[in-house]
Amino acid sequence: MALSNSQYNAVMREYERQQAANRRDQEARIARVYARIPQMEKLDADTGARAAACARRVLGGEAGARLSLREELEDIREQKRVLLRAAGFPEDYMEPRYRCPDCKDTGYADGKHCHCFEQARISILYAQSNIREVLERENFETLSYAYYDDSQPVPGLGMSELEYRKLVRQCREFAEQFPDKGQNLLFTGSTGVGKTFLANCIAKCLIERYKSVIYLSSQDLFEVLSRYRFSRDAEEVEDTYHYILDCDMLIIDDLGTELNNAFVSSQLFYCINERISRRRGTVISTNLSMGMLKDTYSDRVTSRLMSHYTTIPLYGQDIRVMKGKS
C-alpha cells in the first residue's frame, strides 16, 4: 500500500496549497490589525530595521549585539501584545495558523512523516479500495434499529432494540474516547448480525478524529504478512507491513475465514501482541466463538484476546436476509 510517485506528489501539492492558504489567512489578519491599529505596522517595520542593524553590528565585531537585539525585540513584542489586547484581538492573532501544528503543514515532523501525512496517505488508500464509499453508507448516523424489537430479547432468537442500543452506545463511546477508555474490541457472532457494520461505524468516527485507521479482511492481512516474510516483492509491502503494526487503529474483519496454518497462527499472535506492546488499538470481527478461536489458533492468541480485548457478542438473525425480505 505504499504511495506511487503520483500519489505522493498529490499529497505534497495539497500541503503546498494549505501553506499558501495559511499565508493568505495570516496576511488578511495582519491587514485587519493594521487598519485598526496603525501603530502596529510601524512596530513591525521597526522589527525588520533593528534586525538588519544588528546583523551589521555583528559583522562589525560588536560584542553584545545579539543580546541587545533580543532585548529590543522582546520589548517590541510586548508592545504589540498590549496593543492587540487593548483592541480586542488575541495576543497571537497575527501569528501563523496551521491545520496541523505538529508539522506546520509541511508533512514532516522530527525528520519523518507527520501523523497528518499518514492520515492523508491512508485516505488515498481508502479511496482506492472504495472503503470510504462504504463508510458513507455504514456509520453511526445511518445505523438503523428497524430490525430489532423488544419482543426478541432471548439470546439465539435475536437482540432486543434496547440491548442493541446499549451496544451501539458502547461502540460510539469507544470510538469517541479512543484510546483513553479502551483500545481493543472483539466482535463475535454469526454471519450477518452486524459485526462489520459496527466496525465500519468505529472506523468512520476515528478517521473524522484524524486517527490513522487501516481496514483489512483477515485474508488480506495474512497475504501482506506472508508477502513481507517470503516474497521477492517484500519491499512493495514493507510500508504496509510496518503501518499494520503502528497505525492508531487496525480493523481485522472476518477473522477465521482465511486458510489457517502454523504461519497464520504465529503471525496473528505477533500482530496482536506487538500492537498491544505499542499501545495501538485493534478491532477484530469473527464468526468464531472464543472456544473455536482457541482451537483454530493457539492458547497464546486467545489469552491475549481475553486479557486485552473487550468482547462484544452479537446474535440473532441474518440482517441481510431480513432486508431482502422487507
CA–CA dist 27, 25 (Å, integer)? 5
Within 10 angstroms of residue 41's Cβ, the number of other Cβ atoms is: 14
**What pLDDT, on the 0 to 100 scale, is given for residue 1?**
45
What is the gyration radius of the CA atoms in the chain, in angstroms? 27
Contacts of the segment 35-41: beta carbons below 8 A, 24+ positions apart:
36/87, 36/89, 37/83, 37/84, 37/87, 39/83, 40/80, 40/83, 40/84, 40/94
| Proportion of the chain in helix, strand, coil states, percent, rounded to 5 | 60, 10, 30
pTM of the model: 0.63
**What pLDDT, on the 0 to 100 scale, is given for residue 325?**
47
Going residue by residue through the chain, which has 326 residues, state the pLDDT in tens, using 9 for 90 and above: 456 677 788 889 999 999 999 999 999 999 999 999 999 888 888 877 777 776 777 677 777 767 777 777 788 888 889 999 999 999 999 999 999 999 999 999 998 889 888 888 777 766 655 577 788 888 888 887 776 666 555 454 567 777 888 999 999 999 999 998 889 999 998 887 889 999 999 998 988 887 878 889 999 999 989 988 887 777 777 878 888 898 889 999 999 999 888 999 999 999 999 999 999 999 999 999 888 999 999 889 999 999 999 999 988 765 554 455 44
CA 236 vs CA 95, 221, 241: distances in Å: 42, 15, 10
List the Cα angle 188/189/190 in 5-degree steps: 145
Within 10 angstroms of residue 247's Cβ, the number of other Cβ atoms is: 23
Q: Minimal CA–CA distance to 206: which of 145, 115, 267?
A: 115
**What pLDDT, on the 0 to 100 scale, is given for residue 184?**
96
